[in-house]
Structure 1
Amino acid sequence: MSALTVVQRWLLLHIGGWAIVDALLSPAGTDHLMQSMSGSTGGTPPRGGPEWLCGWQTRARKVVSPWRGEPRVVVSAAQINRYGTGLPADVRNELVECRAARSAETMRTEGWCHCPWKDHSPNPHSRPCRRYHPTAAEDQAHLDNLRRIQAWETAVLRKALGVDAGQLTLFDPPPL
């Protein structure tokens, strides 16, 4: 596996979610992240991560943090791709499973509508919405599924990025 520094791995975990799962699995995922020009301007650092890691942005095929001021950590698209291809097969397989679960849940609820026009028309020359309007219980089940998938995704990303293992080694005694 191609090495990333501990801080670079924390940055990828901070971004997290499907964007980093996709980026670790394929160059197309990394390209999507880089082309998105997305970022985060606040929030809290990931559990166990550096206190200053509260934002990031993509620019010039790199992810930079913090999102403003002098960069403290930078990860290039090439570094993400190398790291992702070097992940153990079992970790990659679990990332693929996470992605499939998220995609399946998204597709399952793609046609759902929450507009107020389920039972009546918005105006005299139209009719009520014909799309499916979920019940409150269905909505709650969907949110529960998403939270379960997100927690699983985060656990697998923590494993893939080795951030928990990196923390533990700080306290291990030196080899004899």
Structure 2
Amino acid sequence: MYIKIEDYCAATGVSTATAGRRLSDVPFRIPTRGRGRKHFPLAAAVMTLKAKEADAVPELVQHARDLCRGDPYVEARALPIAESFVDWCEGGMRDRARAAMNGFVVAVSNSRICTPTIVRNLEPLKALFVLHPDVTRWILVGGNPPDVDNLAPSFAVANNAPALDEYHLNLEHAA
């Protein structure tokens, strides 16, 4: 899920300059037919909010768009954002994030796609799973939980190879 800087300003009440400063280090996308507007990952944008702006989260979620139009693929480059997002979550959000990641592992384990190549990548895949639009929305605002049993297997297949490459590349850099 992605938001535009205008949506961030409207939800938080900050100026475009302040929003631009806060989001300057956040990777962005410029979608086709996006008219050159930057779209920032919602999970990264909410982490830039000040404590007094916490009530802006539901409005940000309401304005967020799924640029992939239902495709379960999440760019492997977003792995650091996903990990930071889970660490940033508190209270009910943290509980929902953990429930989503645990549900992901259980759903993949119980599915036919549970193969050694998928199992080897469960850690980065379950971290990326929090960036699936339905999961991110649920983590941030609650409501009805996503159907993890149906989402997880297709998500694991769509994201397995890129997640493996990115995860092992990060491990090599750390060593």
Q: TM-score range by the shorter chain?
A: under 0.3
Tell me which structure has the larger Cα radius of gyration.
1
Q: Whose helix fraction is larger, Structure 1's or Structure 2's?
A: 2
TM-score (norm 1): 0.27
Q: Whose strand fraction is larger, Structure 1's or Structure 2's?
A: 1
TM-score (norm 2): 0.27
